[in-house]
Amino acid sequence: MSVELILLALSPVFLAFVAWEWWRYRQVQPVMYRWQDSLANAVLALMHQGGELLAVIVLMPLFIWLYQWRLFDIDLNAGTMLLAFVLQDFLYYWFHRASHQIRWLWASHIAHHSSRQLNFSTAFRQSLTYPISGMWLFWTPMILIGFTPSIVLAVVALNLAFQFFVHTQAVKKLGVLEYIFNTPSHHRVHHACNPRYIDKNYAGVLIIWDRLFGTFTPERADEPCRYGLTDDFASDNPIRITFYEWQNMWQDCLAAKGWHQRLRSIVGKPATKSKANKQAHLLEKPTLDVD
């Protein structure tokens, strides 16, 4: 079962949670949802799914070829599925971390961080260009170890499905689970553009990777999260959102002097991460406790 089919099968659940969250906050915090933002998220999701489906069709021959060089023949059972899930989550951590540190990867990932809202629909805000930036490269070690391409794609889909549920302000802290799993509180920090929170909490499912590798920061009650990019970008146009950083990167590359600077403009730290945070965030309000 492909990534697209798993996520498509779960789409009624996702939409139900979006509807519940909107209904819950429609009066106490109506600005949490803007129809323009939510519509952009939906269009970006459709573009992303189409791109991923095409990428799987194009890349599957490569995955099958790589599988010939596997180190082990891994039988499918509960234990190996759990191992695959944990290993993929580990690789996802490094993909996610690299996506915030390498501009070529950030050019795709920036779309997900470009909204000034944070709600369940924000999970749909994905980029068409992930296959171009090379997200799929991070899953190839699993194939070389001995997991079949279909199993790898399945655990990728399950990881992404879990992550839908951490895109919310409706859930506060979850006690002991905060020490092991990625939670809404941890992921609010990841989406925040407060200087204290930038480039933290890269977890997919397990927050243990952030704790082990020094990228964990807890959400603080005295500093509410503010959302969006640090360069004051604001758009509800899915095309502009998708290609915003690709355009910036291309312009910087053309303006650079010498190959060293040009290369740095492509694989160096994202330019939009180094600018001062000027956002007024007039649309956002601190997270509210709603009983």
32 has pLDDT over 90: no
pLDDT tens track for 76-85: 999 999 999 9
pLDDT tens track for 210-243: 999 999 999 999 999 999 999 889 999 999 999 9
Mark 52-91 as b/e (b = at least 16 C-beta within 10 Å). beebbeebeeebeebbeeeeeebeeeeeebebbbebbbbb
Question: Is 192 strand, coil or helix?
Answer: strand
29 has pLDDT over 90: no
Map out the domains of the chain as residue ranges. Answer: 3-273
CA proximity to 143, closest of 197, 72, 93: 72
How many CA within 13 A on the CB side of residue 10? 19
The Cα 32–Cα 115 span in angstroms is: 11
This prediction has a pTM of: 0.90
What pLDDT was estimated at residue 6?
72
The Cα 114–Cα 117 span in angstroms is: 9
Are 119 and 33 in contact by the 8 Å Cβ rule? The answer is yes
Cα 30–Cα 33–Cα 34 angle in degrees, nearest 5: 105
290 has pLDDT over 60: no
pLDDT tens track for 160-218: 999 999 999 999 999 999 999 999 999 999 999 999 999 999 999 999 999 999 999 99
DSSP annotation of 228 reads S
pLDDT tens track for 97-125: 999 999 999 999 999 999 999 999 999 99
